[in-house]
Amino acid sequence: MPENIHQSQPFMQPLAENAYYSRERFFPEDHRVFCFGEVSVCMDRFGGLECVTYLNSVRYAGKLYPARKSIEYFSRNGRVLDRPFISPAFRFVCEYSDGSVRAPCPEYPAIYPNGVTSKDYEFVLSRKSFSVQLCAKRAVCNKYVAAFSKLHYFCQGSLQTVYNQLAHEHVWLPPEYRGEHFDEGLPFPDGTLEIKAIVPRYDMASNAIIFCKKLAHPAYSGKLYFVVTSQLPLHFEENKNDWLAVTESTEQTANVFSFGFDESLEVALERARTVGRNHRESIRLMETASNANSNAPSFVLEHYTEAEKFAKVFPAYQKALICEETEKTATIRAAYMKYGFFPIWDHIYPVRDFLISNEHELARKCLAYMLDYPHWDTNPFVMIHLSLALDEYLAFTKDKSLLDEFYPRLKKSFAFAETLVSKKTGLLRYGIDTAVDVMEELGLSNLFYASCVNGWWYDACCCLINFAKEKNDLEFETKVSTYERLISEISLAG
């Protein structure tokens, strides 16, 4: 009997090195999400755009409030049980004079946080806009076509989102623990975002196809325009399933379709024109941001070469998540495609990444954004993580001015947290924000002593003691030290 007859075969056979569908030839996964600020685009491995989302914000009393969830301007989720469509929302093709059709795609791509480049297909996201360059395989291409799916456009009629940054959506501490000044309606009322999609129209004068969605929310109402234009003259066609942006007959070997978002039609049109006109420069900036980042940390990690490589490019990925930046503050979207603003781990945690990539000013702006965040006076979890991030910011920068701004509110929030702390053990009772997403599943209810939260609570106490020492606040230092000592004694005894 041959020696190897009983050798097991791997369940998943590796792709052949030169196979047509190899990971080197196309994306390593079925689709890839790209993000830049408010806009996210999900692309399949053959260059079709599966969905396009826009994270809009409400401006209230001078502060921007990003939504918890993005508007799916072109959604992949169908109307039946949210089952995803098989086909992409956007398809791009080249039609040749002999009647043949070819769809350019990103073969052997270079992948970046906000785009992809290849020989025949380039895509880049810019601020509230993006552009796609298609290159013809042959010398003469008769037409360039962009098809937009009607099904993907009309899917979303409403959105259960959160604009006023209610912590943890609508899951609050039980009423008896909230405090007398608690008001879940601050800073403005929240509710469902109603979305009405308007049939697109072609404007010959501006050489653009104009999409529009009407938005209605208790805090505001308005329109969100999405404009499509091209370097070449367009005309507008329609069939049962798609709207088509078709260029006039041409002999050009390449064409750029460009797209712009805004609440104003004029601004959206100008964004689309600008990103199309500056496509080559946008590609250059994207490549430079990822490949020549002087702020990227340098790690030497034995046996972890991929981690070393990622350390060189991750600052570009993190900066692509900045949703809006002002002179003093910056807000970060939580995830490329999943959801929008969330104040805890998705806004505060990236502060550490900005610190180690030498983006100290950006780290400061993200922390400063939280100074007037609603409800963190009565939300110990926010106070805890702000204390930890602020402590690291001070360690990196020695900038004590931010501590001066945070200190009074940290003390106020700590006073509320004390109402939930055991005087015997120093541990914090809490009912949410633990690793248990559905606490009832484990038989838990009301408040309980979660070990994960209390690990952070202990660290926050240590940070607050350091802050009190820095401010020469002996009374507050003594108070916090009492709880820190009790928790330490439990740990040693256990």
Q: pLDDT tens for residues 223-243?
A: 999 999 999 999 999 999 999
Residue 225 CB burial class (10 angstroms; 0-12, 13-18, ≥19): buried
| Angle 243-268-38 from CA coordinates, rounded to 5° | 95
**pLDDT score of 14:** 39
Residue 108 CB burial class (10 angstroms; 0-12, 13-18, ≥19): exposed
Between these two residues, 296 and 97, which has the higher pLDDT value?
A: 97
**pLDDT score of 317:** 79
| Angle 161-162-166 from CA coordinates, rounded to 5° | 150
Q: pLDDT tens for residues 328-383?
A: 999 887 665 655 666 666 788 889 889 988 899 999 999 999 988 877 878 888 89
**CA 464, CA 462: separation in Å to the nearest integer?**
6
Per the document, the length of the chain is 494
Q: Is the pLDDT of residue 127 over 80?
A: yes
Between these two residues, 164 and 122, which has the higher pLDDT value?
A: 122
**pLDDT score of 131:** 98
Residue range 408-434: average pLDDT? 88
- The sign of the CA dihedral 352, 356, 357, 359 is positive
**pLDDT score of 29:** 73
Max mean pLDDT among 49-53, 265-269, 339-343, 444-448 falls in: 265-269
Q: Is the pLDDT of residue 401 over 50?
A: yes
pLDDT band at 4 (very low <50, low <70, confident <90, very high): very low
Distances (CA, A) of 179 to 1, 64, 407: 78, 26, 21
Q: Is the pLDDT of residue 5 over 60?
A: no
Look up the pTM and report it: 0.84
Domain residue ranges of the chain, discontinuous segments joined by +: 31-291, 305-493
Q: Is the pLDDT of residue 68 over 90?
A: no
Decide: 247 and 228 in contact? Cβ < 8 Å: no
| Residue % of the chain over a pLDDT of 90 | 47
Residue 20 CB burial class (10 angstroms; 0-12, 13-18, ≥19): exposed
Residue range 296-317: average pLDDT? 78
Helical (H) or strand (E) element with 330: strand 330-332
Max mean pLDDT among 214-218, 379-383, 475-479 falls in: 475-479
Distances (CA, A) of 428 to 127, 197, 436: 43, 48, 16
Helical (H) or strand (E) element with 235: strand 234-238
Topology (CATH level 3) of domain 305-493:
Glycosyltransferase (1.50.10)
At position 94, the amino acid (one-letter code) is C
Q: pLDDT tens for residues 69-118?
A: 889 999 887 666 667 888 899 999 998 888 888 899 998 999 888 999 99
Residue 19 CB burial class (10 angstroms; 0-12, 13-18, ≥19): exposed
Least confident of 143-157, 180-194, 356-370, 431-445: 431-445
